[in-house]
Structure 1
């Protein structure tokens, strides 16, 4: 077969004009990655994608919606991840415009496009084949693709019966309302309930049969893009063989390793203030009432109510208590580990949580807040503008009580607070409080409160808040 090879100094690219007057198809190679990385990345991305809350597995194109539309704010775009496995997927089209960046598997990929319109195909099915063109993508390669709505496309392995995945991609739907959508599909899009499968139309079977026959004969115009070596050379053959071999190993390794990631939220600049005394109405004022106590403090942190998806004090307090348990400061955790090692021989209480909220891990379930958290007392006002709980425990050297509260205040603000009272039982208890007082006030309590509030601002699934909101 005759071929023409052109050397370029920039990104190897191809543009396929539309035969029906639409937008062209643009494909560009961006970078050649290390041997086997395509399969490895495919395996790890596939595993993470399967755990996404918006994961869909249909039409041989598993996908997840990473970011949906927001028409109220003028944003018609959506962002998806999707993968195409070793068998490829069927020829199809979408009504809207598409742009995606992908990394090919370690066996390479073949991109197939036809710009024949639905009317042209209905009049002459052969028009689909006349407009068909293939683009070969090398193994382990980053590339970009852009094409208009109604463009037929199929992504397949570069060679028949390849054991390697085709690619994984991040796809931007630039306008989910673009193109000729049915009324039902338009309503799905407006409700942000559309998915890649719902936005997909498959190639008619009679045309698919014509395509299979043409592909079997190898009668399709093809453009080969590469970054390392041109087709038909020994270097190309050796490179593809090496990449395929390494890809098989790294792909299995990527699938074997458990996919995980980390999300770390750092300070938002909010100030934690220490009050001179517990505020009026605080349950802390009733603790050790009528008996002497040796330590008292209350810290508050005020944030805009709009930062939270909850709108009542009980739900806000539930999220705050979640934060104490699920987002403890690492520094406090390390300090508690040292403290536990020192006091364990004395038979004192130990806990991985900071002392003010350590009783949240109590096995005593006789009195629960939000059906989950063990507390000594709890209260909420009639309008659910203020909710508070009392935590605490009695130990050999001291007894402590902590009041955790959420209060919605004027100006659309919510005030979170954490306060403690401690009654020492003996000289060791008084020495213990003297030793920790400065660190407790300057670091432990303010940091715990700040981290718990930061956790409360992170959106949680609605069902996790059901008990609190009830």
Structure 2
């Protein structure tokens, strides 16, 4: 016999009151995804979670801590991901409050909550079943859940052939609630995980299948009421197509890419001052690429400090296209026993093992200059090869109006006919692509060096 149905235009939601003045349990449906999208998302996210360095598989709830506490900043929150498979997981509770956003699989999920206290459980085995409530989530849905510490809960799929859900869970205060001294010490070390923060319901209190089926049930849905023919057909279709969408069509991959801002790049005549003017006086090729920054873009107070970060940018943030060209060039010239380098030629000597002269204590250079006000800093790079000699200048100049000009200039002296032919082949590509790309990416790094390790979670550990 169908129960009563409430129709609303906003997010369908339920709130289950807690006993003894505790926080209520809130479940809210947010959106309906495409047919079979739930299974596909749970499968994809579950595989990615399995490759996370903090992945742990325990209590039938594979999980990973995506972000730990930052107590030095007064932030005791943590972020976790977790999945619940077709078989569900045991009833359990946590000391602190929980809130998470989840995607249900293509058969939907059933969320079960009980608010029985320890005293009630001790008074009789039926106390747990009397406080048990169920909330059914439809297939392929985005939903949110929030409940207080100490709330017993269990999640399961509506069909054994489909996963229940994938969720992102925010622990707003990892230190909240009553926990053992051992667990609290682990939390304070910022070494907690979901299993260590979980207390499983003793098996003697587990409800029977009959008790589960008899527990009050609330069904949420979008577009069609749960008991309708339309809702039934929709659920059947999603359950049939969900497994098909779980079939991987492409290998599991993920990318982190820094999009280089469109810094204005200009090609200038050869400089009339600086270190490059006296380098290779008999050069045959020369160029100068400049990039100008607004005063508001630069936090560095000295030209030399900015120059050091630009040099680091050449090493840590090279353009992939230039790297591919260098790899091709290295293969082509290897039989000729020419000098090779993975770094773009103008700045390749930054990889030199010669440490006789260093700029900023770590960059090998041929020469360097910093003016007395530290508004003009320059280094000279370069190397000699069998077919040519080249020198490169990297320079930072702070102008009186606050603008900062960063330049990359080169001079090349060919030593034989092959050197002349080599330069004729690469000169246009060097001027119009290689030098501008190298300079843009180096400046990009210099202005935000903290972004260099964004793709490496180990480079940004959580702090206590």
Query: Which stretches in structure 2 are left out of the alignment for 5+ residues?
Result: 301-306, 366-380, 396-405
**How do 1:121-160 and structure 2 match up within 5 A?**
121-159=121-159
User: Structure 1-normalised TM-score?
Assistant: 0.73
Change beyond 3 A, Cα 1:378–1:3: same
Which residue, 176, 186, 189 being the options, matches 1:188? 186
Name the counterpart of 1:446. Answer: 439
Take 1:441 and 1:349, find their aligned partners in 2: how far apart are those partners? Answer: 18
Name the counterpart of 2:218. Answer: 223
| Higher alpha-carbon deviation: 237-246 or 88-97 | 237-246
Query: Which stretches in structure 1 are left out of the alignment for 5+ residues?
Result: 280-284, 306-312, 361-372, 406-415, 466-470
Take 1:418 and 1:376, find their aligned partners in 2: how far apart are those partners? Answer: 22
| Higher alpha-carbon deviation: 342-351 or 81-90 | 342-351
Change beyond 3 A, Cα 1:339–1:439: farther
Q: Is the 8 A contact 1:379 1:388 kept in 2?
A: no
Q: Is the 8 A contact 2:2 2:227 kept in 1?
A: no
Name the counterpart of 2:177. Answer: 179
Name the counterpart of 1:408. Answer: none
Take 1:402 and 1:5, find their aligned partners in 2: how far apart are those partners? Answer: 76
Name the counterpart of 1:9. Answer: 9
Instruction: Give the secondary-structure state (helix, strand or coil) at the position aligned to 2:128.
Output: helix
Structure 1 residues 237-260: Cα deviation after superposition (integer angstroms, max 9, x where no partner): 32222111100100123xx63222
| Higher alpha-carbon deviation: 86-95 or 293-302 | 293-302
Instruction: Give the secondary-structure state (helix, strand or coil) at the position aligned to 1:377.
Output: coil
Name the counterpart of 1:102. Answer: 102
Name the counterpart of 1:458. Answer: 452
Take 2:364 and 2:175, find their aligned partners in 1: how far apart are those partners? Answer: 49
Which residue, 233, 236, 242 being the options, matches 2:237? 242
Q: Is the 8 A contact 1:278 1:298 kept in 2?
A: no
Take 2:363 and 2:165, find their aligned partners in 1: how far apart are those partners? Answer: 52
User: Structure 2-normalised TM-score?
Assistant: 0.74
| Higher alpha-carbon deviation: 128-137 or 340-349 | 340-349
**How do 1:60-459 and structure 2 match up within 5 A?**
60-159=60-159, 162-208=160-206, 211-215=207-211, 218-253=213-248, 257-267=250-260, 276-278=273-275, 320=313, 323-324=316-317, 327-328=318-319, 330=321, 332=322, 353-357=343-347, 375-379=352-356, 385-389=360-364, 397-400=387-390, 422-426=412-416, 428=420, 438-439=431-432, 443-450=436-443, 453=446, 457-459=451-453
Change beyond 3 A, Cα 1:448–1:355: farther
Name the counterpart of 1:54. Answer: 54
Take 1:247 and 1:233, find their aligned partners in 2: how far apart are those partners? Answer: 21
Take 1:250 and 1:397, find their aligned partners in 2: how far apart are those partners? Answer: 58
Instruction: Give the secondary-structure state (helix, strand or coil) at the position aligned to 1:156.
Output: strand
Q: Is the 8 A contact 1:115 1:128 kept in 2?
A: yes
Q: Is the 8 A contact 1:55 1:65 kept in 2?
A: yes
Take 2:264 and 2:315, find their aligned partners in 1: how far apart are those partners? Answer: 21
Change beyond 3 A, Cα 1:436–1:395: farther
Instruction: Give the secondary-structure state (helix, strand or coil) at the position aligned to 1:252.
Output: coil
Structure 1 residues 128-173: Cα deviation after superposition (integer angstroms, max 9, x where no partner): 11110011111101111111111110001124xx110001011111
| Higher alpha-carbon deviation: 163-172 or 444-453 | 444-453
Change beyond 3 A, Cα 1:318–1:123: farther
